[in-house]
Amino acid sequence: MQLVQKRNYLKAAELAAVLTERYPDSPLAWKVWGLALLESRRPQQAIEVLHRADGIDPKDPDTLHNLGIAYLKQGNIQKADHYLGQALEVLPSFAKARLVLAKMRIDTGQYQAALEQIAIAEEKGANENQCLSLKAFAFNKLHRHTETLQVQEEIRKRYPDDLLNLSNLADSYRVLTRFDEAEKTFLQLLERDPTQHKAFSGYLFAIHYNPRHSQEFLVKTITQWDERFSPLTRHVHRRKTARRTNV
């Protein structure tokens, strides 16, 4: 198991395969082998091995969870749902399995069902940032923009370096016509990465619809596009960003 924890999956798979020969009735040996195969991107082999573990110990939530993940990697949503559901029947507090189910619900457009799974996962101690990010995404898809914004602001407070959330937050301010806050947030993104086309486009949109800006200011800002995004300028920005990263 230490090899799996160290992410040496190939070696872990080899060792676990030997252990299953020596201890064919050990569900742990089959489970570890299945996990190593799954993590080394061999889902079909993982399924075969994990079913051996499940046959010996059908109430092991980790085995059921990993079977669900393996089927999900193969695109078999029905079986993935089945085994993840079984894992939660055995261990209702299995927060990681609930998050996977929440993502599956989002992928199939079941956003309210995803929110229900996320709420339980939060109570059970699932990864906070993942829960908040999934919740914001689901709220946004349901056009519940005020709730989306509230979650995104909470993410910014707790995880200020999450640039994807910062970009989504700026968009939410724009959608809710809070243009001053949208401008400020888009500018924060551009300070972090001046080469972001999307951030500058969002900034232009915000100042265009913000009544406090003049037409002259808008035109002047639009002319900055070439200054910011010409090939030479982008190359200079990338070098500056790389130097900041390496400091």
156-183 residue pLDDT tens: 999 999 999 999 999 999 999 999 999 9
Residue 100 lies inside a defined structural domain of this protein: no
Q: How far is 237 from 31, CA to CA, in rounded Å?
A: 48
- Is 12's pLDDT higher than 90? no
**Of 61-75, 134-148, 189-203, which gets the smallest average pLDDT?**
189-203
Mean pLDDT of 206-220: 92
- Is 86's pLDDT higher than 50? yes
- Is 6's pLDDT higher than 80? no
Nearest to 94 by CA among 72, 119, 125: 125
Residue 239 lies inside a defined structural domain of this protein: yes
Q: Give, for 116, the enclosing helix (H) or strand (E).
A: helix 111-123
- For position 51, what pLDDT does the model report? 96
Its domain, for residue 232, covers 161-247
- For position 242, what pLDDT does the model report? 52
Q: How far is 92 from 94, CA to CA, in rounded Å?
A: 5
Residue 174 lies inside a defined structural domain of this protein: yes
Mean pLDDT of 114-132: 94
Residue 179 lies inside a defined structural domain of this protein: yes
**Percent residues over pLDDT 70 in the chain:** 88
| 3-class SS of residue 89 | helix
Q: How far is 174 from 153, CA to CA, in rounded Å?
A: 14
Express each pLDDT in 19-37 by its tens digit: 888 888 999 999 988 998 9
Residue 68 lies inside a defined structural domain of this protein: no
Q: To the nearest whole number, what is the mean pLDDT of the chain?
A: 88
Supply angle C-alpha 193, 194, 199, rounded to 5.
Answer: 85
CB neighbourhood size of 247 (10 A): 5
Q: How far is 225 from 155, CA to CA, in rounded Å?
A: 30
What's the number of domains the chain is made of?
1
In single-letter form, the type of residue at position 243 comes to R
The pTM of the full predicted model, rounded to 2 decimals, is 0.80
**Phi (first) and psi of residue 144, to 5 degrees:** -95, 75
- For 155-180, give one letter per residue: b (16+ CB within 10 A) or e: bbeeeeebeebbbbbbbbbbeeebbe
Residue 199 lies inside a defined structural domain of this protein: yes
- For position 167, what pLDDT does the model report? 95
Mean pLDDT of 141-169: 96
- Is 143's pLDDT higher than 70? yes
CB neighbourhood size of 212 (10 A): 9
Residue 49 lies inside a defined structural domain of this protein: no
Residue 246 lies inside a defined structural domain of this protein: yes
- For position 170, what pLDDT does the model report? 97
